Amino acid sequence: MARQIAHVWWGMFAFATLVLVAVSAIWIYALARKPRETSKEQAVRINRRWVIGGGIVLPSLSIVVLLIFGIPTGRSMMPLPVEGQQPLKIEVTGHQWWWEVHYPDSGVTTANQLIIPAGRLIDVNVTSADVIHSFWIPRLGGKMDMIPGRTNVIRLQAGHTGVFHGQCSEFCGLQHAHMKLHVEALDDAGFDNWIAARENLSFTQRAPGEAGQVFDERCGQCHRVAGISNGSRAPDLSDIATRPSLGAGVIDNDHDGLRQWLREHKTLKFGNGMPAHDDVPPQTLDQIADWLETLAP
Ligand code: HEC
Ligand SMILES: [Cu+2]
């Protein structure tokens, strides 16, 4: 659909260029030619021809042609039923400043990453938990406001597998720029595996000793880890070890990055909704990090 829109855009661009060239040519010709003797009636007739032809017929014709191409293209981005295809429904909720991603058919929840099957129609149901955000994956086309108390649907389709980048595109506060979404299109089998691995995910192993206690008393109040904690105010951490970045793209999710996030997230992402844990000994935070690194399907 994004490709069709691009085609319409290039068509409009080509036509506009043609009009510009033609008008310039006529203008230069009019400047350069010798004045001709014309009677008053003749002048009026010529005038009228230009007003009717250039001012009414040409624009009307252009708009009709544009609508012929534009309306079907616009419709293809609307979440209308398609014969023989059941679009995959995914719910994406904007938060200051991270993305909650939920697959209602399988009950899988993740954050800051949107994994989709390539080639399939996807109906992304977007909303917001706080202020207005906007869902935008430039290379997949289309953009949709995420409005609290309202669900908008945008239909997308990735033409091939690979990584695309998403970004919030409605100013939503201090860290609006740090609200990136990792979008990855997998082949059908890869996507089914990804979902199946998370479908009945449940952990039993807590972090050892004090780390486990701190997690239960604090982290778990906001964060969910399947089988361990049930917080819903912050990104679900059940598959945190498999995510490419932390803080919606602020820092890579590797050994050092995770430890740095837990200690310094207030400087890495000033104003973000996670409280500082300065009173927790750094070794304990590191132990929590060790344990978070095991949270993968
Ligand atoms: C008051 C709620 C709250 C508490 C308590 C809390 N967090 Fe967070 N946490 C958040 C929020 C909100 C974010 C998202 C911040 C952002 O990216 O803007 C977050 C992000 C994270 C992330 C990055 C997730 C991602 O996918 O980007 C990790 C890891 C994390 N928290 C671990 C912890 C740990 C470990 C603790 C306990 C020591 C903890 N959190 C306590 C609210 C909380
Ligand atoms: Cu934003």
Q: Are residues 70 and 9 in the same domain?
A: yes
In a domain, 200, yes or no: no
In a domain, 203, yes or no: no
Q: Determine the distance separating the centroid of ligand 2 and the alpha carbon of 177, expressed in angstroms.
A: 7
88 lines ligand 1 (CB under 6 A): no
Predicted pLDDT at 252: 96
Instruction: Locate 207 and state its tokens.
Output: 């972090």
Q: Are residues 171 and 219 in the same domain?
A: no
Ligand 1: residue whose CA is nearest its atom 2: 222
CA distance 58 to 67: 14
Q: Determine the distance separating the centroid of ligand 1 and the alpha carbon of 274, expressed in angstroms.
A: 5
User: In terms of Cα–Cα distance, which of 226, 229, 208 is closest to 218?
Assistant: 229
Predicted pLDDT at 75: 79
274 lines ligand 1 (CB under 6 A): yes
- Total tally of structural domains belonging to the chain: 3
Predicted pLDDT at 44: 92
pTM listed for this prediction: 0.85
Ligand 1: residue whose CA is nearest its atom 30: 262
CATH, residue 113: 2.60.40.420
Instruction: Locate 152 and state its tokens.
Output: 């908008």
Predicted pLDDT at 77: 74
Q: Which SS3 state, helix, strand or coil, does residue 124 take?
A: strand
Q: Are residues 66 and 114 in the same domain?
A: no
Instruction: Locate 119 and state its tokens.
Output: 């080639």
Q: Last residue of some domain: 158, 190, 222? A: 190
In a domain, 245, yes or no: yes
DSSP letter for 182, please.
Answer: E
Q: Which ligand 1 atom is nearest residue 285's CA?
A: 38
Best of 274, 278, 286 for a ligand 1 pocket test (most atoms within 8 Å of beta carbon): 274
CA distance 99 to 260: 21
242 lines ligand 1 (CB under 6 A): no
How confident is the chain (297 residues) per 10-residue block, as mean pLDDT? Answer: 84 92 94 87 90 91 88 80 89 97 96 96 96 94 92 92 96 95 97 94 91 94 95 95 95 95 94 92 93 93
Q: Last residue of some domain: 155, 190, 225? A: 190
For helices 58-76 and 2-32, the axis angle rounded to 10 degrees is 170
Predicted pLDDT at 38: 83
Ligand 1: residue whose CA is nearest its atom 34: 219
Ligand 1: residue whose CA is nearest its atom 39: 219
In a domain, 35, yes or no: no
Q: Which ligand does the CA of 285 lie closest to?
A: 1
CA distance 87 to 101: 16
Q: Which ligand does the CA of 172 lie closest to?
A: 2
Predicted pLDDT at 62: 86
CA distance 246 to 270: 14
Q: Which ligand does the CA of 97 lie closest to?
A: 1
Q: Which ligand 1 atom is nearest residue 112's CA?
A: 26
Q: Are residues 276 and 185 in the same domain?
A: no
CB 149 within 8 A of CB 131: no
Could you list the residue range(s) of the whole structural domain that residue 121 is in? 88-190
Q: Are residues 94 and 183 in the same domain?
A: yes
In a domain, 46, yes or no: yes
In a domain, 181, yes or no: yes
In a domain, 100, yes or no: yes
Q: Last residue of some domain: 190, 221, 250? A: 190
Q: Are residues 100 and 185 in the same domain?
A: yes
Instruction: Locate 216 and state its tokens.
Output: 């239960």
Q: Are residues 12 and 45 in the same domain?
A: yes
Predicted pLDDT at 200: 87
Q: Are residues 55 and 94 in the same domain?
A: no
Best of 222, 283, 286 for a ligand 1 pocket test (most atoms within 8 Å of beta carbon): 222
DSSP letter for 176, please.
Answer: G
In angstroms, the first-to-last Cα distance of the chain is 34
In a domain, 226, yes or no: yes
